[in-house]
Amino acid sequence: MNRIALGLVAIVLFGTLAQEAEAGRRRCLPPRKCVPVVTPCVDTTAGCDVQYVEKTVMVPTYVDEVRRVMVTEYQQEERERECTVYKQVPEVKQVTRTYTVYVPETRSKEVTYTVCKMVTEAQERECTVQVPVWKEVPYEYTVQVPVSRIEERQCTVMVPHQETREGKRLVTKCVPVQEMRTVTRCGGHYEMRQVEVVCKPRCGMFKCRKSCCGCEPQTMTVCRNVWVPETVTEEVPVTVYKQHTEEVPYTYTVTVCKPETRTMKVQVCGYETQKRTGVKKVCEYKTETRKQVVHVTKMVPETQTKVVHYTECVPQTKTQVHNVTTYTCVPETIKQKYTVCVPKQVEKEVTVKVCKMVPKTIQVPVGHGGCAPVASCCGH
């Protein structure tokens, strides 16, 4: 509610300020008047001297003024009012209800039903059968009978023979060859050289220090036999075995097969066609009418009786008392507080821009010697 009131006040205030600004702008428009316009000289040969004259004109100027404006403001007031409220009042009542219940009861009754029984009967029927009859029938057939005979045939046979042949083969042998090789060996000789050695201290100790017994170690020069190594390079004859390959003749035996034509006897089997007679059995069928006994099964209906027990639901009426809660609307008057916005006219000071006409002195050119100012009306 407060926001709505403040919005209305702002809209009214802005509308008032806009109207005042528009009125001031209209008051600040200068009146239509003729402004002298200087035209060039008509006579170009004559000189033109220009002079300036001071003139006072009114110039519009905006000035801030403080004005008092009536503004509508809204104030919140708390008021009281009476309103009617309806309350739900519960009321418990006892209600008697009659209802029906189905109680199952077991009963029995006699039922008649039909049953189909199987009955087998013997019946005599005539039937036609095919009776097989076997007969012996003579017939001729042809057979191939094997017949063997001995024949002489010529054949080529490979006969092995031993032959001696000569050949050459490569034989590799190791042959000793003497070569010269360069050999480096270590040698040397003994030389007599002078060497400085430490003598035995006086105190008799091998390692003697000056701090222990007061004696100092002494050295002496001794001649000793020293081995001086030398490296000697010389050529020495060496025997080396090298492989030597040569062709050596040798004799070997070879078995060679040579073809020979010979005559040999071969048993040859041939076939001879012969006709023979045999007997075979042939089956023929003869039609005969015979009688046979057939057992036929039939379904014969039969009526029977039995006692059937079944359950039936019997309705029974019962009464029940139960509590029922009902609600009644009861009006009640209560006092309620509420807030309202009350408008009030308040006078406020507002700063407004006002347009005023201020006099200003300017210089206007005035022509001489053939030049005259021409006045023209401004077209507003």
The pLDDT profile of the chain, 380 residues, written as one tens digit per residue, is 445 555 555 565 556 655 655 555 554 444 444 344 444 434 444 445 678 888 888 889 888 888 888 888 888 888 888 888 888 888 888 888 888 988 898 988 898 989 888 888 888 888 888 888 888 888 888 988 888 888 888 889 888 988 898 888 888 888 898 888 888 888 788 888 887 877 665 555 444 444 444 556 677 788 888 888 888 888 888 888 888 888 889 898 989 888 999 888 888 888 888 888 888 888 888 888 888 888 888 888 999 898 989 898 888 898 888 888 888 888 888 888 889 888 888 888 888 888 888 898 888 887 554 444 444 333 33
Largest CA distance in the chain: 181
Tell me, what amino acid is at 95?
V
Say if CB 277 and CB 140 are below 8 A apart: yes
Say if CB 266 and CB 158 are below 8 A apart: no
3-class DSSP assignment, residue 103:
strand
Taking the C-alpha atoms of residue 336 and residue 321, their distance in angstroms, rounded to an integer, is 44
3-class DSSP assignment, residue 19:
helix
3-class DSSP assignment, residue 3:
helix
Say if CB 71 and CB 9 are below 8 A apart: yes
From the CA atom positions of the chain, what is the Rg in Å?
82
Taking the C-alpha atoms of residue 86 and residue 334, their distance in angstroms, rounded to an integer, is 10
pTM (two decimals): 0.23
How many helices and strands in the chain, by DSSP H and E?
2, 4
